[in-house]
Amino acid sequence: MHDYKNGKGGEPSVETVLTHAGRAPEEQFGFVNTPVFRGSTVLYNTLADLEAQKQRFLYGRAGNPTTETVESIVNELEGGHATKLVPSGLAAITIALMACVKSGDDVLITDSAYEPTRAFADQFLVPMGVSVRYYDPRIGAGLAELMQPNTRAVFAESPGSLTFEVQDLPALAKVAHDHGARLIVDNSWATPLYLKPLQLGADIVVHAATKMFVGHSDVLAGTITATEEAWPDVSRVRALLGYFSSGDDAYLVARGLRTLSIRMKEHEARALEIANWLQGQDEVVQVLHPALPDHPDHEIFKRDFTGSGSLFGIVLKPARREALAAFVDHMQIFAMGFSWGGYESLCVPSKVRRTVHPWSAEGPLLRLHIGFEGVDDLKADLAAALERYTEAR
């Protein structure tokens, strides 16, 4: 467990930042939360104002006070130069990649990347003339051997959202910068509460805000944060593509952020308890959680992270499909769904796609998101599922 109630060195604690950042009640008639601003047209009083283009807001697509609330909170947490809220995590990923590469350039992407990231790279970047290559997520400084003169970006996801390899971000950042490339990091799992990629050398950080930031499974959103050097390219691409999040969506993201620290501590504690319990179950071959001491990347995790998230994986003993169906089809609390980060627990069978090294596990891989139900109830649901699996195997 982590105590964020007290700041250090005169700086406010993260809990104080999450509670107060981005709010300006004196500008909103005293209301504690920034209201939902809906609007496209912004009016100008004079021709001089129109020509000067110096108003705080120029047009609805450029943002409003509600979207600014989210951006200011996330930017303060990440320690970035600037942050933008966009309609989804995938939108943040596509902006980040397109801000770094053009036709004729090369990009290196972790082999453990979120599947939509791979799809965008293979089905959009490649046809537009970008060379896309994948690298072993545990390559570290060995990435230098893959760098080419036209490599402009390295994309990392730590840990991987299916197989949970932890990447050596400082080593990747050094290699990227030594070769004139930028490092992009998907930080959705740990959030900036538990991992600070910009402090470790990253140039751009993206989040599927749909997950931990929102926390209620009721809105799609993404954020993209960058250093001062990288920001002009990020801002330009976002504006040209027309990505904009509505005031209604922004309000829901801001609502979720206010309780992020408390929720993360609860998610972490519950997930670790269940992960440790699962290690003792006969049908479980491996628990993929980087905070566990026997995880291959645990030392890197301890060095770079200050906590862990709600999401981890388990590999079961090999069995026929009917056994897997028996496991998941009759669960009473866990539901099947492709997202995570909400208050409800999820369990979904996952297929691993690999380019560099084939996934070697013989049994099925299940991804678990641990929500806020009673831990004993969740264990009982999993125990019954494991019993059904044994009987059907």
Catalytic residues, by residue number, are: 61, 114, 186, 211
Spatial CA neighbour of 149 closest among 104, 178, 179, 184: 179
What is the Cα–Cα distance from 108 to 137, expressed in whole angstroms?
11
Q: Are 167 and 113 in contact (CB under 8 A)?
A: no
Helix (H, G, I), strand (E, B) or coil at 131: strand
Question: What per-residue string of b and e applies to 208-236 under the rule 16 or more CB within 10 Å gives b?
Answer: bbbbbbbbebebbbbbbbbbeebbebbbe
139 Cβ contact list (under 8 Å, min separation 6): 146
Q: Are 104 and 129 in contact (CB under 8 A)?
A: yes
Q: Are 354 and 382 in contact (CB under 8 A)?
A: no
User: φ, ψ for residue 55 (rounded to 5)?
Assistant: -65, 155
What is the Cα–Cα distance from 154 to 204, expressed in whole angstroms?
10
Torsion of CA 156, 157, 159, 163, to 10 degrees: -100
Helix (H, G, I), strand (E, B) or coil at 381: helix
Alpha helices in the chain (DSSP H): 14-20, 47-52, 65-78, 89-100, 115-120, 169-178, 191-194, 231-241, 247-258, 260-278, 298-304, 321-329, 375-392
Q: Which helix (H) or strand (E) holds 286?
A: strand 284-288
How many CB atoms are located within 10 Å of the residue 20 CB? 11
Spatial CA neighbour of 238 closest among 247, 251, 248, 225: 225
Spatial CA neighbour of 209 closest among 250, 263, 248: 250
Cα 152 to Cα 127, 178, 239, distances in angstroms: 17, 11, 21
